[in-house]
Amino acid sequence: MKAKVSNIVNTNRHELYTVLPLKTPYSLFVDVCNACNFKCKFCAIQYANKKLPFRKMCMDYDLFRKVIDDLRKFPEPLKMLRLAANGEPLLNKRLPEMIEYARGGGNTVDRICV
């Protein structure tokens, strides 16, 4: 049996100059936790030789709700909401509630990536 080869890139893409200015952003990164319990050798945050200019912490649930409520004011849903940036999102104990809140309430986001 041969493996099926397919292109994972979405072919239904816009040429950016044809849709500017955007009515709604395509994607948004929300760092729900900038702390991490791993020690990855390639990570600049874990292996910084100087003191970091921010505290490692998880995002407050009320602040997350405000971000999502503000997103709902856009005329179209985001194509992608990414709930990770510099940290490990699974350290946020309220992550399941955050995902549920972002998915609920209608026209917010097409996909959520953690």
pLDDT score recorded for residue 17? 87
- List per-block mean pLDDT (blocks of 10 residues) for the chain, which spans 114 residues: 72 82 90 86 70 82 95 90 89 94 81 84
Q: Can you spell out the DSSP letters for 42-90?
A: T-TTTT-SS--SS---BPPHHHHHHHHHHHTTSSS-EEEEE--SSS-GG
